[in-house]
Amino acid sequence: MTRQERGKKIMEILDELYPETHIPLHHRDPYTLLVAVLLSAQCTDERVNQVTPELFKLADNPLEMSQYDAEEIQEIIRPCGLSKNKSKAVRNLSEMLVENHGGVVPQSFEELEKLPGVGHKTASVVMAQAFGIPAFPVDTHIHRLAWRWKLSTGKNVEKTEKDLKATFPKNRWNDLHLKIIYFGREYCPARGHNPYECPICSKFGRKPLFADFDKTRAAKK
């Protein structure tokens, strides 16, 4: 079975399980999505969603946010972790948006990635989910699943992104990114994963998954 054939079957499973997907980070516009994605680094979406209502009550646009000190922002976002660096990034990117883009989030990978704290993955999420521009954001979780499902041999997220883009139709990149995230959380976690019970790994998973799981299970007996 080719990678494209495997990808088509996996896409069918994902579509059946998740006919509709919603962005897990609460937001109102491209700016609030950008900030929420930035805060989600090494933090759960649930925790971010607990923090952002208070943050956006303080300021929900670049002009107002840029008028606060990073320390004031940090007090609110502290539960997200890495709050010192994130608060500086939120404050400084807000200022850059006002000064360089008229307070509007740019619809460009190049311009987004110039903003403090915004890497390629964050820019990809904003481009895909705020502007509907095809992108395939790959974080460590999607990177892991792509390897498990034999969709990529990439040893880094850049190679995995390239492989996934070559596997799936361009018009499906944006929603498949979300479906893979939801599937990973529900059926294919990093720890405690049983490949025999996983709807995808049981059909398309790499053999080492099963060998490692069997060794772990035998050791517990």
Where residue 50 sits, what CATH number does that domain have?
Answer: 1.10.340.30
Dihedral sign (CA 81, 85, 105, 112)? negative
Domain's final residue, options 98, 131, 164: 131
Which of 131, 153, 179 represents a domain boundary (last residue)? 131
Specify if 76 maps to a domain: yes
- Span 80-135, pLDDT tens digits: 989 999 999 999 999 999 999 999 999 999 999 999 999 999 999 999 999 999 99
In terms of domains, do 41 and 111 share one? yes
One domain for residues 35 and 74: yes
Assigned domain for 25 exists: no
Identify which of 83, 23, 17, 85 has the alpha carbon closest to the alpha carbon of residue 55: 83
Residues 127 and 35 in one domain: yes
- In the chain, the number of structural domains is 2
Q: Which is catalytic among the residues 121, 162, 175, 207?
A: 121
pLDDT of residue 221: 61
- 155 and 89, same structural domain? no
Question: What confidence score (pLDDT) does residue 42 get?
Answer: 85
Whether 125 and 195 map to the same domain: the answer is no
Domain match, 46 and 74 both: yes
Domain CATH for 209 = 1.10.1670.10
148 and 102: one domain? no
Positive or negative CA dihedral for 126, 83, 40, 205? positive
Residue 11 belongs to domain spanning: 3-20+138-220
Catalytic residue selected from 139, 175, 214, 220: 139
- Spell out the residues 6+ positions from residue 192 whose beta carbon is closer than 8 angstroms to its own: none
> Per-residue confidence of the chain (221 residues) as pLDDT tens digits?
899 999 999 999 999 999 998 999 999 999 999 999 999 988 899 999 999 999 999 999 999 999 999 999 999 999 998 999 999 999 999 999 999 999 999 999 999 999 999 999 999 999 999 999 999 999 888 999 999 999 998 789 999 999 999 999 999 999 999 999 999 999 999 888 999 999 999 999 999 888 887 777 666 66
Residue ending a domain, among 131, 154, 187, is 131
In this prediction, residue 1 carries a pLDDT of 85
What pLDDT shows up at residue 163?
A: 96
pTM: 0.89
- 139 catalytic residue (yes or no): yes
* Percent of residues, the chain, with pLDDT higher than 70: 98
Residue 27, burial from CB neighbour count under 10 angstroms (0-12, 13-18, 19+):
buried
